[in-house]
Amino acid sequence: MSINLFDLTGKTALITGGVHGLGMAMAKGLGHAGAKIVVNDHSSQEAVNNAIAEYKSEGIEAYGYLFDVTDESAVIAAINKIEVEVGPIDILINNAGIIKRTPIIEMEVADFEAVIKVDLTGPFIVSKNVAKGMIQRGGGKIINMCSMMSELGRDSVSAYASAKGGLKMLTKNMATEWAKFNIQTNGIGPGYFATSQTAPIRVNGHPFNEFIMGRTPAGRWGDPDDLQGAAIFLSSKASDFVNGHIVYVDGGILATIGKPSNED
Ligand code: GCO
């Protein structure tokens, strides 16, 4: 009898911030692998409605909710509502995040704290409250969206790097505390991807665009669909003994020191 280790039929997946970009791409991957998809936005019902329509246009069963991942009472209420209206959450992808690009010297403390709150405390809040049900039900899958900045610094993204570095270690701690409950907690670390978040530094001729094209062995920006394989793997039976691992989907950036710009 052949088994499909990557089949997500019958599973319910919550992808926070899955109304566009990388979150939507990963959610579509899980949906096409059989999962029911639940997404949220922190404030825009229109964004939720448009996303659900897009999922449904691809034959994916999808549901949308409005809640702020940094507001624990709103998160608890949303989880309860989801688990009544859709079903128990088997897979959680903590994808919702923000970035503020400002040099440390010029950065307001409030802006630093805002990034930490959404990108690090948010995944803590959502995971803690989703994991309670997973523990009761005998297991689940949690994926935290880390980053190149979980490993490397870059001018102007100190808050984001601090959050994503912390999220890497929070992932390892979740794995440490919850593996005994058959919850596999891992991370995905995207390299540089073509999204709205990177649009300002990706325009042709922008020095950063040229830099990334040279710094990435694959010689291109990532396409959001490039994340679907890692997301399906870490959401499926295929990763039942994988814990605390960050899968970097980066075109090889972390594998290399790079090369002089005049070398092919
Ligand atoms: C930046 C980019 C990065 C990428 C991604 C890399 O300003 O350096 O926005 O943060 O978005 O997180 O993994």
Fill in the DSSP letter of residue 56: H
Q: Are 111 and 159 in contact (CB under 8 A)?
A: yes
Could you tell me the two tokens for 158? 């100190």
**Which is nearest to 51 in space by CA: 63, 36, 59?**
63
Whether residue 202 is contained in a domain is answered as no
Handedness of CA 143, 146, 147, 152 (dihedral sign): negative
Whether residue 77 is contained in a domain is answered as yes
Whether residue 213 is contained in a domain is answered as no
Range 53-64 average pLDDT: 98
Whether residue 1 is contained in a domain is answered as no
Tens digit of each residue's pLDDT (9 = 90 or more) over 106-134:
999 999 999 999 999 999 999 999 999 99
Q: For residue 81, how far is the Cα from the chain centroid? A: 22
Whether residue 264 is contained in a domain is answered as no
pTM of the predicted model as reported, rounded to 2 decimal places: 0.96
Range 207-236 average pLDDT: 95
- What is the separation, in whole angstroms, between the first and last Cα of the chain? 49
For ligand 1, mutation pick of 154, 157, 223 (most atoms within 8 Å of CB): 157
Count of domains in the chain?
1
Range 54-82 average pLDDT: 98
Phi, psi angles (nearest 5°) of residue 13: -120, 125
Q: Are 182 and 133 in contact (CB under 8 A)?
A: no
Is the per-residue pLDDT at 204 higher than 90?
Answer: no
Whether residue 200 is contained in a domain is answered as no
Could you tell me the two tokens for 181? 């409950």
| pLDDT for residue 1 | 66
Instruction: Please enumerate in sequence order all residues whose Cβ is within 8 A of that of 63, keeping only pairs 6 or more positions apart, or say none.
Output: 36, 37, 38, 39, 52, 82, 85, 86
Domain range for 17 is 12-193+221-252
Q: Which residue has the CA at smallest separation from atom 10 of ligand 1?
A: 149
For ligand 1, mutation pick of 98, 147, 155, 250 (most atoms within 8 Å of CB): 147
Q: Are 222 and 191 in contact (CB under 8 A)?
A: yes
Tens digit of each residue's pLDDT (9 = 90 or more) over 249-262:
999 999 999 887 77
| pLDDT for residue 203 | 85
Question: How many angstroms separate the CA atoms of 107 and 156, rounded?
Answer: 9
Whether residue 26 is contained in a domain is answered as yes
Q: Which residue has the CA at smallest separation from atom 3 of ligand 1?
A: 192
Is the per-residue pLDDT at 264 higher than 70?
Answer: no
CATH number for the domain spanning 135: value is 3.40.50.720
Q: Are 107 and 37 in contact (CB under 8 A)?
A: no
pLDDT cut 90: percent of the chain above it: 91
